[in-house]
Amino acid sequence: MARAKQRTPALRNRVVEVAVATLEDEGVSGFTTRTVAARADTSTNAVYELFGDKSGLIRAVFFDGFRQLRERFDGLAESDDPRADLLDALQGARGFVRANPVLAEVMFLQPFASFDPGPTDLEAGNAVRLFFVARVRRAIDAGILAGNETDIAHVLLALVQGLAAQEAAGWLGTSRSTINRRWALALRATLDGLHPSAAASQW
């Protein structure tokens, strides 16, 4: 098969897709520009022309991860139960991390020394953050939660990331029922603790 020669948007999209797949297959330690180029059936020079360097390729993967996560959220329905909708979003984030553990690592844990996301890069997560803030705001307006919506959204996302990391590492249990029970316990305890009556007694 002839190698792709043109530095087109289609080739760029393909390289990013292959880079994500390479991360999932090879892990962070096995991720190299040369490997991605070979799997995308193009040259290393083409990858460098498209992304500048390995850091630029990782940055593209970083952005693509948040795009995929937001697409997952866009597929969630909104009901007349703000708490249930918020739990659906949290479980959606859990499902994304379970399905894309290495990609989630790039997005949230910065495993590559050559890529340290700056303020502009971190804006990639704004669409995800705003989605969560909006769902938290609905719960606050319904009297289900009390507090600052942005603070609560950050706390809930951090909780999901931590639990998902524990699940991936096998620390949450060995059976699906046990793992699900502990997820439910953590999410329920956190949301109950943010209920207006609980918040009032704490402060």
CATH number for domain 1-52, candidates 3.30.565.10, 3.40.50.300, 1.20.1090.10, 1.10.10.60: 1.10.10.60
Structure tokens at 69: 């996560």
Q: Are 67 and 53 in contact (CB under 8 A)?
A: no
The verdict on domain 64-202 having CATH code 3.40.1350.10 is no
Same fold, 1-52 and 64-202: no
In sequence order, the 6+-apart residues with CB closer than 8 A to the CB of 49 are: 7
pLDDT value, residue 124: 74
Least confident of 7-11, 82-86, 162-166, 177-181: 7-11
Residue 36, judged by CB atoms within 10 A of its CB (0-12, 13-18, 19+), counts as buried
The model's pTM:
0.81
Residue 6 clears pLDDT 60, i.e. is over it: no
Give 55-112 as a DSSP string. Answer: HHHHHHHHHHHHHHHHHHHHTS---S-HHHHHHHHHHHHHHHHHH-HHHHHHHHT---
pLDDT band at 147, cuts 50/70/90?
very high
Q: Would you list the domain boundaries of the chain?
A: 1-52, 64-202
Closest CA to 136 of 121, 123, 124, 152: 152
Average pLDDT over residues 151-164: 92
pLDDT value, residue 4: 46
Average pLDDT over residues 130-155: 95
Percent of the chain with pLDDT over 70: 94
| 128 or 18, which is more confident | 18
Structure tokens at 168: 């991936």
| 100 or 199, which is more confident | 100
The residue assigned the tokens 């043109």 is 6
